Amino acid sequence: MKVFILGAGTWGTALGGVLHDNNHEIVLWHVEENIARDMELSRINPNLPDYRIPDEIKITNEFDHIENSDIILITVPSQFIRDVIQKLPPTRKDAIFVFGSKGIENNSLLRISQVINQFSGISYDRIVALSGPSHAEEVCVKLPTAVVSASKNFHAARFVQKIFNNNFFRVYSSNDIVGVEIGGAVKNVIAIAAGICDGVGYGHNTTAALITRGLAEITRLGVSLGGEKETFFGLSGLGDLIVTANSSLSRNRYVGENIGKGKTLTEVLSSMNMIAEGVKTSQSVHDLVLRHGVEMPISEQIYAVLFDEKDPKKAINDLMTRAPIDEKF
């Protein structure tokens, strides 16, 4: 297959390596011309310095060859997808659009599949989400990883499953794209909360409770938006939440941990050269809570910490002193 990857960040680079190993023809696109040129010459992504990009992968800042691609793979941060989609030249009428980005667009509150559909005219039957617990750093060195391919069109989900699946990158299929998208996006908010707990010095009990009740919130929101409850206990829900909330490779956990240690959001973000999707997603989740009336106390406290400068310890105390309730998912 001919695959054009929109986004030469760590995840686009890693997935390009998976597809190259599966004998597909890859073009890797970066929004900045100078970075694309440097990567093409050095065969190194600056954020993956120990991984050499195979020589057969073309790296570019142009949209050359996209019109002949079988698959358009989108890995740019969720808040930039609309801009990138609107700049694309015409693509094949049967091309499959796959996205590995995780987020909910601010203001519009659209999921990524909705952004692609509304601003490109691509049918939902040709849109596939690829999501799950998958740090690029581990995929690049071929550590066993499992993700899920989801689409309203089961045939498209299974087609993408076959394209990506190999002996170190296992892909399951699903037709619950809503649940897969919400799980992948909102777990980043809970991962920030987990980082905050570690940053202020709380222990494993706290993190375990946070992950469990965070999953309840993700499930509650996802089901209210049309997702299937079972999806949130799978790879794109519980699986992705576990790895993002616990791993030192998690950007979102890093943000939370440093805020827990007393840094401001501005200070933390200015020190990073990659994007933590959970920060923007927290704003979208807050707006979804207001729109749909879904109870999400952890997510709301994280919003208050990030954007209202609420003290993290006060936020956790407010969660702990809420009126007792039954445990429900």
- Kindly list the catalytic residues: 187
Distance of CA 254 to the CA centre of its chain: 15
Distance of CA 219 to the CA centre of its chain: 17
Among candidates 126, 68, 127, 122, which has minimal Cα distance to 101?
127
- 3 state DSSP class of 60: strand
CA distances from 16 to 2, 22, 25, 237, 295 (A): 11, 10, 9, 24, 39
Tokens of 323: 């009126």
Give the DSSP per-residue string, 129-180.
EEESS--HHHHHTT--EEEEEE-SSHHHHHHHHHHH--SSEEEEEES-HHHH
Tokens of 22: 């599966």
